[in-house]
Chains A and B, each alone.
Chain A
Amino acid sequence: MTFVATLKNTLSKDLRLEWRSKDAINSMLFFALLTVVIFSFSFELTAEESREIAGGLIWVALLFAAVVALNQTWARELRNSVLDAYRIAPAPLESLFIAKAIGNFIFVSVLELVIAPLFVIFYNLRSVGPAYQLLIVSLLGNWAVVVNGTFFGAMSIRTRSREVLLPLLLFPISIPALLAAVKATTYILTGDESAYLPLVFLAVYDIVFTTIGVVLFETVLQAE
């Protein structure tokens, strides 16, 4: 099968599975909701303060929630040894990786669409800077988390401890992306500075880590 056909089939299969079971989306949504509520109980904020720290809170909530979905992507393929079938199938494994990453990207984007309004309501947010840039931040930051998460998900599924390992590998690597996403969000919300630099940084991060992920994915999946 060609690259595009594999990608399309895997992606549509994952989306259909998710549409029918809604496992990942539901657990992520509930998890993120819990995080938002717990955060707002933990801090009592004025509108001014919440603008300052909401960027950090929303990204931490998203990162934690994303792990829930990321863990399921590959665990799902272990049943009936589907993963082994992938490994011996004459299909390009890179397309499997990209398809999984796009699938997770869609799930986390849906999550963002639900969580962002909640944040606006709970934290009484109003963007002072150009709000349309928030969309760019969320897309770039989302991809950064998801592409690394998909890769490390595949990596941790090959180890003894499976799910436990994913956040332990993903979080340290995600620190620079998280930092940039948080800064970009905060700059936009407070309107203090231009978010240009963190956005460019995130874009470069995305490109570099997508490349490394694609290059090393086959090595990791076929590791004996």
Chain B
Amino acid sequence: MKSKFAIFAIITFALLSWGLYEALVAAPTEATMGQVQRIFYVHVPCAWVMLLCFPANFLASIAYLAKRNPALDALAVSTAEVGVVFCTIVLLTGPIWGKPAWGVWWAWDPRLTSTLVLWLIYVSYLILRKFSTGGPNATLAAALAIFGCVDAIFVWFAIRWFRGQHPSPVFGSGPNSGIDPRMLHAFFVNMAAYTAFGILLVWLRFVLERTRQKVEEAHAMKALAGTARGTR
């Protein structure tokens, strides 16, 4: 297990370094936006990882309610936390690009707005986890995760229908439309690198959470057995 993790970590960091090289050096400078476009090699892969994490959290939560297996709860926490981290990166890198490109740090564009609301929902999930200790924690969190994920669908529609004042395509529509193959190459390397990075983080957090669960369980068993640590 440990060696597998180490190998995966090494591969991930190799991929990330390669991705960074591709993004900063190998990929050509974008014609209209210039250097600032390079942030998309980070921004889009992070959004992608976030979009992997939140549904994974939803599925893990449903599975937890059905099976009551603590490992599934650990998976739910890990994916939610990593998802929030990547969501935060998306929300931070967006404005860094937005300022030079749009002239404003923040526009209430549908995509930005839905990402922000998604962030709010999952932060509230983490707050719930923080506030509820002990027994009911996992169950309550799983219930909220189901609400949150269903709500995300409503958010998506609500924002497009009721806030769609300027549904501008964010820009020449991402690194997907008639672009230099070297850009596409850099983009896919980064997608792979960040996906691996996301999985690595979830894995790490999962192991940590499992350990925490086991320690807690051991403490509970010890207390039950009436052998709580005496004074030495």
Contacts and interface: CB of A to CB of B under 8 A. Distances in A.
B163 A173 contact: no
A172 B161 contact: no
Contacts of B155: 175-176
A180 B124 CA distance: 21
Interface in B126-164: 127-128, 131-133, 135-136, 139-140, 143-144, 146-148, 150-151, 154-155, 157-159, 161-163
Given A176-B157, A197-B161, A224-B135, A216 B120 contact: no
B139 A223 contact: yes
Given A155-B143, A183-B162, A205 B154 contact: yes
B63 interface: no
Interface stretch (A16-24, A67-75, A123-131, A156-164): A156-164
Contact of B120 (A175, A180, A183): A175
B117 interface: yes
Nearest to A183: B162
19 contacts: A155-B144, A158-B136, A158-B140, A159-B140, A169-B128, A172-B117, A172-B148, A173-B124, A175-B117, A176-B117, A176-B154, A176-B159, A183-B162, A201-B161, A209-B150, A216-B143, A216-B147, A220-B139, A223-B135
Which of under 10, 10 to 19, 20 to 34, or 35 or more describes the interface residues of A? 20 to 34
Interface of A: 148, 151, 155-156, 158-161, 164-165, 168-169, 171-173, 175-177, 179-180, 182-183, 197-198, 201, 205, 208-209, 212, 216, 219-220, 223-224
Interface of B: 65, 117, 120-121, 123-124, 127-128, 131-133, 135-136, 139-140, 143-144, 146-148, 150-151, 154-155, 157-159, 161-163
A180 B128 contact: no
Contact of B158 (A148, A164, A168, A175): A175
Contacts of A201: 154, 157-158, 161-162
> Which applies to chain B's interface (DSSP): helix, strand, loop or mixed?
helix
A173 B162 CA distance: 16
B133 A160 contact: yes
A176 B151 contact: yes
Contacts of A175: 117, 120, 151, 155, 158
A169 B120 CA distance: 9
B87 to A, nearest CB: 13
A159 B159 CA distance: 32
A170 B131 CA distance: 15
Given A216-B146, A219-B139, A224-B136, A172 B121 contact: yes
A180 B121 contact: no
Contact of B131 (A160, A179, A180, A205): A160
